[in-house]
Structure 1
């Protein structure tokens, strides 16, 4: 079997692997059938591990079995997950086990390696907020477990933002079609709205040249406790139906509730066309059809059109908030939205689509709404785009939006020492330019001992406010060389993970530290919002 460079859309509810076949990205069928593999894992007593649909079925038939879903959104956490995980497992270990079974396991005859051969290169998509929120540890934790726990350090090309991956696929596919039809390829601004199980992210991307993609603006609601996407909606619907039938609140951690949730999710997906038609009719005449049952699931549970609409409203509010900011940015910067691309599993839900179109003040028949992409292509766009990036067929231009540097004491004219922030990585710099070390624009420093005090300075999203953190025991120089002169540098890799380096003058000695966890400790919350 040949080796492959693959793209992985590691999703909150489902994951998809794509690889090139006859020059086009195709979705890997796990077990010969599943192109969307549920991000779900179950541990049996004998040590056997199931993932995907089989894991869900096993957990449903044996309620006492240890099982986990939606664990991707816990990856940024390092604590406060004890109630959801056993003493043996954390979000990192569960994610590691899931990805090992999915990608590598020789014991699993369904794994990608068993079916398709070795993985030569890997690009994994991540939520946009994992980049935008500087205190979010998701990128570092995912990069670390892929590189070290799975042993794919050399194969990991990069982590890429989900909307950027989708835009990469759109650029490649539209230009491929236009070339076949001898038409001018699409060039312009593409607004990618990515609504999945756990996040709602929006990116305005410029598509130009030979399948080039550049991010102009991004926004989103992030995870927000999963209140802004598909998982939250499904939960609210099932809770509503349960309370209506039983008169009490369900136990959200019980296997019974998990089974009901699974039943609802499957019904919603399998009956997509049928329920879309019903929701369209409801939206035309809400007062007449509000009490009419829309979904019947899990042995007698029902939920009406009006109840579904009510469960969706918190999500609708989040969509409107984001797109109001998008509209303001477009107006302020006099940038057009030439095309709209809805991606992610939950973006196919009719109420999501209607809310997005209404917020942008466009109709379903507007030429900016590209109807040439079918349901499958839209659902798999992120995975397809990651695959194209892995194979070098699209090269997105991504920037690092934060400004980071060091704080040093500078002598003033009055012979007083004043703390000065020296930026090393300027916000807005192209990632390709940050791969090599950049050094502070100051004379070389001399350390008086092996653990010099370094003060890290961070400006989240380059918005102006500087946060400082002293690193008293983090930086440790090589022994017996403290008297040398040193330069302080930083770099950011293609996965948007930042590093601090202390390099001797002449470059013979160097120590380097990953900054993700250090920066995360500087901020109490997850999201530093613009508003």
Structure 2
């Protein structure tokens, strides 16, 4: 059976698996094969007989059988505190277990004839994309939990190469595809700064990337607006449209966990995608004459009608979020003297006219600006993140990402010269370093003489390497390896390719280091979304 290096865009609303065909072409995996959707709904259904379904079959089951236990949008619950799980899941489920079940069925289930492994072949390497804000917000547990469940629960520890930022994956695809097209036409490949705007089901992320050389991608700046309440992107828009249409007809809202709501949501999404061209024309007319066109029909689905004015109302909070992010991006680019050479809009919701209009308005550029790349069709733009992850998994594109936060520790030690207790503040990770340089531990240069066999450590974090340093004591005393009163130790930190930080303590002369994953500790230091607030103050 053949083996594959795959890219997975694990999305809030839909997921996409990409692989390389034997002739080197990028291809998206349909589920269920052979003629299912390549845009696979991130949706799962648990039947009473123990049967589990995912994707479109699961959504169909949910729309027709109220006894089926179903979940959607569970990806965006992964960063929640455990105490908040019960708001969205019964006691026997949580976002981690549901994500495990979904990805197992999609990727490797031996009992599912439709899983990628059963249908195509063994997964040798996998790169999974995550929202930029999961990488950027140091306190966000989403990336650590996702990495842990893929490695441990799914048993893909050796196969998982990394979690990569969604806009960075899209830039990787753009670099590869533009170079491929240039070779076909005998022209020059694109080289310059690419602004990737990624609007999907749950988040809006932006990255400015430099593309150069032989498929090299370097991240220059990133920003975004995440919202664990799902108010900032496609999921929120679709739900608001369905509620508006239902309330207008019945004079009351509809409970969102009912089969009727799920069915209406599915129907609207299908109509929205199927009528994309027609709706874009109608919205263009509305934007040119909003007062005259506000009452004109925008969409009709399952006996419900929504007007152009109501569409604009449902989109207004999202437009505000886009403007907020793009204003910061524009300010940073101007302050640093950077240029935008191309603009690439990716993710399913970025193809929506009002999203594109909000982005161009915030950047104060015309809709037909030559920098907006129109050479990629809707499919390629929607699949760009998965395609890019696949290219990285196959080592065809080399993205360079930086770790922007500065990390260190405060230790209680004995000064070997004076014999006095000291509490030095030590910098171990300097923000702005390339991830490749952090794969091995950065150790403090001086040896540590501990007071006892256990050592208390206080972690400090300077988010985005600016502003105040936040401190938090590690919850447990760390047991030192091979302790003796004469032993000397060194302390360091490393950051893996998925931007997860580890504290490392090692006896000098030994090869038995202790690694302490820092995600849970860091997440306790910050109430959600403090990073964005501090960026705005600085």
Band the TM-score falls in, shorter-chain normalisation = over 0.9
2:340 aligned residue? 337
Q: Report the aligned-residue RMSD.
A: 1.9
CA distance in 2, matches of 1:309, 1:464: 38
Which residues of structure 2 form unaligned runs of 5+? none
2:388 aligned residue? 385
The answer on whether the counterparts of 2:413 and 2:450 sit within 8 Å (CA) in structure 1 is: no
Map 1:453-492 → 2, pairs under 5 A? 453-471=456-474, 473-478=476-481, 480-481=483-484, 483-492=486-495
2:246 aligned residue? 242
How far did residue 316 of structure 1 move? 0.5
1:180 aligned residue? 184
After superposition, the C-alpha distances for 1:112-171 in whole angstroms (9 at most, x for unaligned) are 001110000000000000011111001100000000000000000000000000000000
The answer on whether the counterparts of 2:412 and 2:450 sit within 8 Å (CA) in structure 1 is: no
Question: In the alignment, is residue 70 of structure 1 matched against residue 73 of structure 2?
Answer: yes
The answer on whether the counterparts of 1:320 and 1:355 sit within 8 Å (CA) in structure 2 is: yes
2:356 aligned residue? 353
Map 1:113-262 → 2, pairs under 5 A? 113-223=117-227, 225-262=229-266
CA distance in 2, matches of 1:290, 1:247: 21
Judged with a 3 Å threshold, the aligned counterparts in structure 2 of structure 1 residues 224 and 104 are, in CA distance, closer, same or farther, namely closer
Question: In the alignment, is residue 404 of structure 1 matched against residue 407 of structure 2?
Answer: yes
CA distance in 2, matches of 1:230, 1:85: 22
CA distance in 1, matches of 2:483, 2:360: 65
For the residue of structure 1 that corresponds to 2:479, the secondary structure is coil
Comparing 265-274 with 116-125, greater Cα deviation is found at: 265-274
2:271 aligned residue? 267
- Out of 434, 438, 442, which is 2:442 matched to? 438
CA distance in 2, matches of 1:204, 1:259: 38
2:97 aligned residue? 93
CA distance in 2, matches of 1:389, 1:240: 42
The answer on whether the counterparts of 1:448 and 1:483 sit within 8 Å (CA) in structure 2 is: no
How far did residue 30 of structure 1 move? 1.7
Which residues of structure 1 form unaligned runs of 5+? none
2:527 aligned residue? 524
CA distance in 2, matches of 1:411, 1:488: 14
How far did residue 446 of structure 1 move? 2.1
Map 1:303-342 → 2, pairs under 5 A? 303-342=306-345
The answer on whether the counterparts of 1:422 and 1:440 sit within 8 Å (CA) in structure 2 is: yes
Question: In the alignment, is residue 15 of structure 1 matched against residue 11 of structure 2?
Answer: no
- Out of 267, 284, 287, which is 1:280 matched to? 284
The answer on whether the counterparts of 2:412 and 2:457 sit within 8 Å (CA) in structure 1 is: no
The answer on whether the counterparts of 2:172 and 2:217 sit within 8 Å (CA) in structure 1 is: yes
1:5 aligned residue? 5
Judged with a 3 Å threshold, the aligned counterparts in structure 2 of structure 1 residues 483 and 509 are, in CA distance, closer, same or farther, namely farther
For the residue of structure 2 that corresponds to 1:291, the secondary structure is coil
How far did residue 87 of structure 1 move? 1.5
Judged with a 3 Å threshold, the aligned counterparts in structure 2 of structure 1 residues 406 and 243 are, in CA distance, closer, same or farther, namely same
After superposition, the C-alpha distances for 1:366-414 in whole angstroms (9 at most, x for unaligned) are 21011110111000000000000000000000011111111136999x9
The answer on whether the counterparts of 1:451 and 1:473 sit within 8 Å (CA) in structure 2 is: no
CA distance in 1, matches of 2:420, 2:326: 49
After superposition, the C-alpha distances for 1:419-474 in whole angstroms (9 at most, x for unaligned) are 54211011110000000111123x21122333211111111111131111122525
The answer on whether the counterparts of 2:126 and 2:159 sit within 8 Å (CA) in structure 1 is: yes
Question: In the alignment, is residue 35 of structure 1 matched against residue 38 of structure 2?
Answer: yes
How far did residue 249 of structure 1 move? 2.5
CA distance in 1, matches of 2:496, 2:484: 28
2:375 aligned residue? 372
After superposition, the C-alpha distances for 1:200-238 in whole angstroms (9 at most, x for unaligned) are 000000001111000111111112521110011111111
How far did residue 500 of structure 1 move? 0.7
CA distance in 1, matches of 2:246, 2:270: 17
CA distance in 2, matches of 1:113, 1:502: 39
The answer on whether the counterparts of 2:414 and 2:449 sit within 8 Å (CA) in structure 1 is: no
For the residue of structure 2 that corresponds to 1:362, the secondary structure is coil
CA distance in 2, matches of 1:409, 1:98: 45
CA distance in 2, matches of 1:482, 1:225: 52
How far did residue 508 of structure 1 move? 3.2
CA distance in 1, matches of 2:404, 2:343: 24
For the residue of structure 1 that corresponds to 2:454, the secondary structure is coil
